[in-house]
Amino acid sequence: MKLTLAQKILWVAAALALVAFAALVWTGGLRTSSSEESAQQAFRPEFRLEDAAGRPVTSEDFRGRYRLVFFGFTNCPDVCPTTLSEVAQVMDGLGSQADRVQPLFLSVDPERDAGAELAEFTSAFHPSILGLAGSPEATQAAAESFKIFFAREDDATAPDGYSMAHASALYLIGPDGDWLRQYEYGMPATDILADLQNRLEGSLP
Amino acid sequence: MKLPVAAVLAFALSAGLVHAEPVRQGDLEIDAAWARASIGTSRPGAAYFTVRNLGDEADRLTGLSSPVSAMPMLHETTVSEGVSRMAHVEAAEIPAGGELTLESGGMHVMLMELTTPLKEGATFPLTLTFESGGEITVEVPVFGPGATGPAE
Ligand SMILES: [Cu+2]
- Distance CA(A149)–CA(B152), nearest Å, equals 32
Contacting residues for A134 by C-beta, under 8 A, at least 6 apart: A47, A48, A49, A50, A110, A142
Task: Count other C-beta atoms under 10 Å from residue B73's C-beta.
Answer: 19
Per-residue DSSP letters for A108-144?
S-TTT--THHHHHHHHTT-TTPEEEB--HHHHHHHHH
As for the ipTM of the complex, it is 0.76
- Distance CA(B50)–CA(B22), nearest Å, equals 9
CB contact (8 A) between residue B79 and residue A185: yes
- Distance CA(B152)–CA(B145), nearest Å, equals 11
Question: Which pTM value belongs to this model?
Answer: 0.78
Q: Which residue of B has its CA nearest to A150?
A: B83
Best residue in B34, B36, B38, B39 for a mutation probing chain A (most A CBs within 10 Å): B39
Residues of chain A contacting B38 with CB distance shorter than 8 Å: 77
Where do the DSSP E strands lie in chain B?
Answer: 23-25, 28-36, 45-53, 59-65, 69-80, 83-88, 92-94, 99-101, 107-114, 123-130, 134-143
Best residue in B83, B88, B89, B102 for a mutation probing chain A (most A CBs within 10 Å): B83
Contacting residues for B42 by C-beta, under 8 A, at least 6 apart: A117
- Distance CA(B51)–CA(B32), nearest Å, equals 9
**Within a domain: B72:** yes
pLDDT, average across residues A79-104: 95
Convert the pLDDT of each residue in A115-147 to its tens digit.
888 999 999 999 999 999 999 999 999 999 999
- Distance CA(A106)–CA(A133), nearest Å, equals 6
Q: What does DSSP assign to residue A96? A: G
Q: What does DSSP assign to residue B66? A: B
Residues of chain A contacting B152 with CB distance shorter than 8 Å: none
* pLDDT recorded at residue A146: 94
- Distance CA(B13)–CA(B25), nearest Å, equals 25
CB pairs under 8 A between A and B: 97
The band of A156, judged by pLDDT with boundaries at 50, 70 and 90, is confident
Residues of chain A contacting B120 with CB distance shorter than 8 Å: none
**Within a domain: B106:** yes
Q: Say how many residues make up chain A.
A: 205
CATH number of the domain that residue B121 is part of: 2.60.40.1890
- List the domain range (segments joined by +) for residue B80: 5-143
- Identify the H or E element spanning A145: helix A136-145
Q: How far is A168 from chain B (nearest CA, A)?
A: 6
Report whether A204 contacts A198 (CB < 8 A): yes
pLDDT at A101 over 70: yes
* pLDDT recorded at residue A25: 45
> Of B84, B88, B110, which has the smallest distance from its Cβ to A166's Cβ?
B84
Q: Among the CATH numbers 3.50.50.60, 3.30.559.10, 3.30.360.10, 3.40.30.10, which is that of A48-200?
A: 3.40.30.10
Per-residue DSSP letters for A32-70?
HHHHSGGGSPP-----EEE-TTS-EEEGGGGTTSEEEEE
B90 touching A, CB under 8 A? no
pLDDT at A180 over 60: yes
CB contact (8 A) between residue B77 and residue A185: no
Domain tally, chain B: 1
- Distance CA(A132)–CA(A180), nearest Å, equals 21
Q: Which of B152, B149, B145, B143 is nearest to B122 (CA)?
A: B143
Task: Count other C-beta atoms under 10 Å from residue B127's C-beta.
Answer: 14
Ligand 1 centroid to residue B110 C-alpha, Å: 5
* pLDDT recorded at residue B151: 74
Ligand 1 centroid to residue B86 C-alpha, Å: 5
CB contact (8 A) between residue B86 and residue A163: yes
> Of B38, B84, B146, which has the smallest distance from its Cβ to A168's Cβ?
B84
pLDDT at A91 over 90: yes
Domain ranges of chain A: 1-42, 48-200
Contact residues, chain A to chain B, C-beta under 8 Å: 74-79, 81-82, 84-85, 88, 117, 120-121, 124-126, 149, 153, 155, 157-159, 163, 165-169, 184-186
B39 touching A, CB under 8 A? yes
CB contact (8 A) between residue B39 and residue A165: no
Q: How far is A198 from chain B (nearest CA, A)?
A: 25
**Within a domain: B61:** yes
* pLDDT recorded at residue B21: 79
**Within a domain: B152:** no
* pLDDT recorded at residue B150: 87
Facing residues of A165 across strands? A151
The mean of the pLDDT values for chain A is 85
Convert the pLDDT of each residue in A3-47 to its tens digit.
566 666 566 666 655 555 555 444 443 333 344 444 456 799 999
Tens of pLDDT, residue by residue, chain B (152 residues): 444 444 444 444 444 445 667 999 999 999 999 999 998 898 999 999 999 999 999 999 999 999 999 999 999 999 988 999 999 999 999 999 999 999 999 999 999 999 999 999 999 999 999 999 999 999 999 999 989 888 75
pLDDT, average across residues A179-196: 95
